[in-house]
Amino acid sequence: MSKRIPVTVVTGFLGAGKTTLLRYLLTHSHQRLAVMVNEFGSVGLDGDLIRSCGFCSDEEIDGRLVELNNGCLCCTVQDDFLPMMEKLLSKADSLDGIVVETSGLALPRPLLQALEWPAIRAKVHVNGVVTVVDGEALASGSPVGDLSALDKQRQDDTNLDHLTPVDELFTDQLSAADLVLITRSDLLTSDSLNNIKLELMQKVRAGTQIISISFGKIDTRLILGLQHSSVNNSFHGHEHDDQHDIHDHQHVEIQSGSIRLEGIISRETLESLLKDLAVRFEVVRLKGRCWLPHKSLPLQLQMVGPRLSSWFEMAPDNVWTPTQGGVDLVVFSFKEEAVSSISSQIEQSFCV
């Protein structure tokens, strides 16, 4: 069984900082990524910015950068998004992931629904919806920094079939988000930034984390996911090993650590438990495997904010494997006690 390719959707209004973030991800992640760019109304500009960042060789660029300028992507799903996704997935063996940068007018949910299309749903998993918001604009009272540019974008898109008001569109982008990034945070005071976070918290789902960034800089693992080997320490039962800290650019520490336990737990119990614990302990990212009795393949687990994806897939030969059943997880969280607490809760849920 081949691996599923992670698809990350980056959404937000025109000028919020999506392309700056994407350039940083492409040049700092050390992953082989394919990119689908759809910023109608600035035709060619975003593609040129991506093309010029040097994330791949000139020979590869046409196969790894797809520019869609026929209109807002959520309105051209059938004509543009699905055919291009199939084209990129035909090269899945040479890719670590796919990133979709949407138009500033796009509604994220039609794209998520498209990823459930029968021809591709077994080949991908949603790695997360990342909503980028302009902190400077929000501090000035609007989610959009340049309303005239947004209006022009609407007028230029003859395929646009939804005339969603700005506030409703912003609410939709936030309610679909698994992670929210506040850009231009270096231009804000601490009080202003805290007020913006409080405002955004009222519009996101429980468990969606909000992180402030500047110049698109962020630990790429928080956006693109993490390899299971990216944290080498483990939390074994009640033995506490050292954890690592990730510092975002506003000096917020994100704790990371591993959990490795042997025991029997049902899929339903584990998934329900992880969803609850992710909210309680502000989990940004979680990845790992669970070995279940009477299953020949381990259950793969991928979590970003409140979104949990799981499926059965063969594990590499060199990974830790329990005798009968168990879990092997990597956790990134804002809470220092997250790893030990999550480990304890899972252990208590093992079948006796």
At 230 the pLDDT is 39
**Dmax (CA) of the chain:** 63
pLDDT at 226 over 50: yes
The three-state DSSP-derived secondary structure of the chain is: CCCCEEEEEEECCCCCCHHHHHHHHHHHCCCCEEEEECCCCCCCHHHHHHHCCCCCCCCCHHHHEEECCCCCHHHCHHHHHHHHHHHHHCCHHHCCEEEEECCCCCCHHHHHHHCCCCCCCCCEEEEEEEEEEEHHHHHCCCCCCCHHHHHHHHHHCCCCCCCCCHHHHHHHHHHCCCEEEEECHHHCCHHHHHHHHHHHHCCCCCCCEEEECCCCCCCHHHHHCCCHHHCCCCEECCECCCCEEEECCCCCEEEEEEEEEECCCCHHHHHHHHHHHHHHCCEEEEEEEEECCCCCCCEEEEEECCEEEEEECCCCCCCCCCCCCEEEEEEEECCCCHHHHHHHHHHHCCCC
Q: Going by C-beta distance under 8 Å and a sequence separation of 6 or more, which residues neighbour residue 319?
A: 228, 289, 328
What's the pLDDT at 278?
95
Per the CB < 8 A criterion, the answer to whether 231 and 328 are in contact is no
Average pLDDT over residues 189-213: 95
What pLDDT score does 231 carry?
A: 40
Average pLDDT over residues 38-45: 57
- Domain ranges in the chain are 5-224, 228-348
Q: What confidence tens digit (pLDDT) does each residue in 253-293 have?
A: 788 999 999 999 999 999 999 999 999 999 999 999 999 99
Q: Residue 262's beta-bridge partner residues?
A: 326
Higher pLDDT, 69 or 54: 69
pLDDT at 52: 67
Q: Do domains 5-224 and 228-348 have the same CATH topology?
A: no
Q: Quick one: pLDDT at residue 69?
A: 74
Q: Given this model, what pLDDT does residue 233 score?
A: 41
> How high is the pLDDT of residue 38?
81
Between CA 247 and CA 206 the distance in angstroms is: 23
Residue 99 has what pLDDT? 95
Q: Is the pLDDT of residue 243 over 80?
A: no
Predicted confidence at residue 239, as pLDDT, reads 34
pLDDT for the residue numbered 343? 97
Are the beta carbons of 259 and 285 closer than 8 angstroms?
Answer: no
Contact 45, 18 (CB under 8 A): no
Better-predicted residue by pLDDT, 40 or 177: 177
User: Would you tell me which CATH number, out of the four given (3.30.1220.10, 3.80.10.10, 3.40.50.1460, 3.30.460.80), belongs to the domain 228-348?
Assistant: 3.30.1220.10
Residue 232 has pLDDT above 60, yes or no: no
Fold of the CATH domain 5-224: Rossmann fold (3.40.50)
- Give the model confidence (pLDDT) of 117-168 as tens digits: 988 999 999 999 999 999 999 999 998 887 777 667 666 665 566 566 788 8
Tens-place pLDDT, residues 314-341: 998 889 999 889 999 999 999 999 999 9
- What is the predicted pLDDT for the residue at 317? 86
pLDDT digits (tens, 9 = 90+) for 66-105: 887 766 677 677 778 888 899 899 989 999 999 999 888 8
Mean pLDDT of the chain: 85
